[in-house]
Each structure stands twice: as C-alpha cells, then as structure tokens.
Amino acid sequence: MNLKRVVVTGLGTLTPVGNNVSQFWDSLLRGVSGVGLITHFDASNLKCQIAAEVKGYDAADYFDRKEVRVLDLFTQYGLVVVDEAIKDSGLDVEKLNRDRVGVVFGTGMGGCQSFQDELFSFVEGHYVPRFSPFFITKTIGDICAGQISIKYGFRGPNYCTTAACASSAISIADALMLIQLGKADIMVTGGSEAAIIPSGIGGFSSMRALSLRNDDPATASRPFDKDRDGFVLGEGAGALILEELEHAKARGAKIYAEITGCGLSADAYHIAASHPEGAGAMLAMQQAVESSDMQLTDVDHINTHGTSTPIGDISEPRAVVSLFGEHAEKITLNSTKSMTGHLLGAAGAVEAIATVLTVKNNVVPPTINHFTDDPDIAPLDFSFNKATDRRVDFALSNAFGFGGHNVCLAFRKY
C-alpha cells in the first residue's frame, strides 16, 4: 500500500517561555528558563513550591465571559494554540471540505482544575448536591478535541489520546497515520495541559518526582546534570496542522517540514520508572526511522524526553547508544524541558514543534542548567548551555509516559 506523504503547515504554542510560536522559539534559542515560584495558588505549605507557569495569560483576551464559564483552562489553552496554528497555516476554513478535516488532541490530566474546584466546593458546602451543569463537560479529557471541532465545524476523525506524558505525541502519530491512510486531508493535532494546582503539585511531589529546588527555581530543571533532583511541572499547549502533501501543494501552502514516520512501544516494565536500558525507547526510535524509509545514520538530531529525573535521564541516552552505535556521537541531542519544564500531556506536541523548527532553521536549542557531568550518562552531544548551529535534515522527537508508553516522531526537511 502506498502511504500518502504528510507535511506540517501550521504551528501554535502557549508555553512557560512564550505565548506564541515566535516568542517560544526565540526563548528556546536564548536559553530562557520559564520556571519560577508558583503564583497560581498559595503553595507555601507544600514541599514543592516551583513550577513553569504560562505568563501573562488572560482568558478575557481570547474568550467572552460565557465561554470562560464552560471551558476549563486546559481547553482554553488548546483553543488558543489551534487558532494560532490555523492562522499560521493560511487555511481558509470556510472553503475547506470539513468532512475531510479531523482533530486528535491529547491531554494527560484533562480538566483537573475544574474537577478539583468542583469537589472542594461540594465538600465545603457540606455535600449539598449542587454540582455545576458544566462539571462533566469541563473535566473530561476529550472535550478539548470536541470544542475544536465544534468551533470550526471539522467533521473528520475526532478524539482524544491519553497516555500520560506521551499523550500529545500519540495524537500526532495518530493524525499522521490517518492522513497516510487517506482517512483525512488535514488533521489538527497536538495537546494541552493545565495541572499546576494543589493536587497536581502535591501528587507528583508525593511520588518524589518533582525538583525541590525552591531556592533556585530558574535552574531547577537540570536534564542530564549530575545534581538533577526531579522534573518541574509545566503547563501550556501546542498545536500542529498536518496536511496531505498534494493538498498542501495545491493551495500553495507554506511547509515547515515533512513528518515521515512514528514509533510506538511499551516498556512493559513499571508504572512510573522507565526501563533501565531504555528497551522501549530504543524500539520506538527504531520504528520511527524505519517507517520513514531512512537509515539510523541519517539522524542528525533528537529532541529527548529528558525530564531531569534520576533514572530516566540515564536510560534514554543508554537507548540512543545501544541503537545508533558509533553514529550516536554524531547526533546533537537536547532537552527543551530544561527551559519549559515538563508539560505532561502537552509536552510531546510542544517538543515536536521545537523539533520541526530545528529542522527548518538548522539550529538546535540548548539544554540549559548543566553544571556537572554525570559519569552514569553516556557522554553524548547534549547541546549544553548554548544553541548548536548545524544542518538538520532528519530529526526525532521522543516522548515517554508513566505506564511505560513510548512515542518517537520523525521529521525530515522538505
């Protein structure tokens, strides 16, 4: 079967280091940290008091009061980035065959803020059963994908993917395959997350997953550094417009890159820890390269999952060395989480966008906050502390989630 070729024609981001794609990319190249003390709520009684929050966001700039009442923050973020991506793509929505436009949008936590707020209100009201009529439709994970389709009238494939921190990467993989198989001409895809709430911070902290570097937030996210002590929770969203190549060419679309393949695997190992040898990660990367009809030696760059956790930051480079052998030394790796923190279910989409821009612009953003080499981590080129100018023709973007879910997306210069 001849699979259709798929290209990226639009991008949208809302992140801790920029509220649109231009700001986001500029911040990445300059090595800006988006981490600070939590302002969304009083975190003074929690062990972890830092996070990577979206700055300067005001719902009133994007939605009217009625819309704000019925949209959880994660859905708001998703709608904002999709609006940017559609405008960036140059699509005329009114002229599209909207039966052939679909939406796959991921989230790990869904409307957790609305869920928490509603339950707090219920308990404080002494269990008076007066739940908001919008309680369910604000909290369920699929509602962002649904709201996107409703806003634009897109009637193609429409659903949500949930696989913890791999959620939006799976959304992009699914969107790719739907177009390759001829099920749609255009897919709006990506993911959104807004989990910087007491239960989110408290829950991850209880797992000992979060950095506790409250006295120095800006350097708290330290992927691949010897003194890393956990990830920093982030929030935001990313959206990509994927389009069948001939459809894009016919309308004279701007093309950022071609998305050529994906790899999906499971560690089948542990609910929270990655496989120590990176077995699942290695399988996902191998599949992504093979499904792209490329060779391992063609890979120029990998945007790693790189969360700043003690175990994960050892196993992923181990997987790279095991798979790529001597060629691993020629690959420039990085972790944009050093700047954005970990956006959970939205991380895969935001990092895929960074990878697309790396392929387009031939520059790899830095991995900031590196102070001390870890002898347990393979000595690869992680683009520590400064951007790396190099030609990038073929790149991979990794996303791994609790439960052992592994995704690798492959992008090629068009």
Check residue 3 and report its DSSP letter.
P
**Reduced to 3 states, what is the DSSP secondary structure of residue 168?**
helix
Query: Do 121 and 209 reside in the same domain of the chain?
Result: yes
Query: Roughly what angle, to the nearest 10 degrees, separates helices 73-89 and 143-152?
Result: 40
pTM, full prediction: 0.97
- Is position 357 within any domain? yes
Backbone φ and ψ for 16, nearest 5 degrees, come out as -65, -10
The residue among 128 and 154 whose pLDDT is bigger is 154
For residue range 362-371, what is the model confidence (pLDDT) as tens digits? 999 999 999 9
126 band by pLDDT with thresholds 50, 70 and 90: low
Query: Do 109 and 210 reside in the same domain of the chain?
Result: yes
Q: Has 126 been annotated as catalytic? A: no
Residue where a domain terminates, one of 250, 275, 291: 250
In the predicted model, what is the mean pLDDT of residues 118-147? 89
Q: Of 301, 342, 370, 405, which residue is the catalytic one?
A: 342
Q: 130-144, 288-302, 325-339: which has the minimum mean pLDDT?
A: 130-144
Q: Of 275, 305, 370, 405, which residue is the catalytic one?
A: 305
Residue where a domain terminates, one of 216, 250, 284: 250
Query: Do 64 and 158 reside in the same domain of the chain?
Result: yes
The reported pLDDT for the residue numbered 279 is 95
Backbone φ and ψ for 412, nearest 5 degrees, come out as -125, 145
- Is position 78 within any domain? yes
pLDDT of 31 above 80? yes
- Is position 395 within any domain? yes
- Is position 256 within any domain? no
Q: 151-160, 247-256, 273-282, 300-309: which has the minimum mean pLDDT?
A: 273-282
Please give the Cα distance from 159 to 370 (Å, whole number): 39
CA angle 29, 30, 33 (to 5 degrees): 105
Query: Do 232 and 271 reside in the same domain of the chain?
Result: no
What is the residue-wise DSSP string for 120-131?
HHHHHTTT----
CA atoms 164, 165, 171, 176: torsion sign: negative
Q: Of 112, 160, 165, 262, which residue is the catalytic one?
A: 165
pLDDT > 70: percent of the chain? 99
pLDDT of 403 above 90? yes
Q: Has 275 been annotated as catalytic? A: no
Please give the Cα distance from 341 to 358 (Å, whole number): 19
Q: Has 327 been annotated as catalytic? A: no
Please give the Cα distance from 279 to 268 (Å, whole number): 9
**Structural domain span for residue 180:** 7-250
Query: Do 279 and 404 reside in the same domain of the chain?
Result: yes
- Using an 8 Å Cβ cutoff, are 180 and 4 in contact? yes
- Is position 370 within any domain? yes
pLDDT of 7 above 80? yes
Check residue 214 and report its DSSP letter.
T
- N-term to C-term CA, the chain: 22
Residue where a domain terminates, one of 182, 216, 250: 250
Query: Do 204 and 306 reside in the same domain of the chain?
Result: no
Residue 169, domain CATH: 3.40.47.10
Please give the Cα distance from 339 to 333 (Å, whole number): 15
Tokens 């990509």: give the residue.
240
Query: Do 214 and 173 reside in the same domain of the chain?
Result: yes
Query: Do 79 and 179 reside in the same domain of the chain?
Result: yes
- Is position 400 within any domain? yes
- Is position 146 within any domain? yes
Residues 6+ apart with CB under 8 A from 99: 155, 156
Query: Do 135 and 205 reside in the same domain of the chain?
Result: yes
Q: Which residues pair with 12 in a beta bridge?
A: 239
Query: Do 326 and 214 reside in the same domain of the chain?
Result: no
- Using an 8 Å Cβ cutoff, are 53 and 197 in contact? no
Query: Do 168 and 29 reside in the same domain of the chain?
Result: yes
CB neighbours of residue 371 within 10 Å: 11
- Is position 399 within any domain? yes
Domain count, the chain: 2
Query: Do 245 and 111 reside in the same domain of the chain?
Result: yes
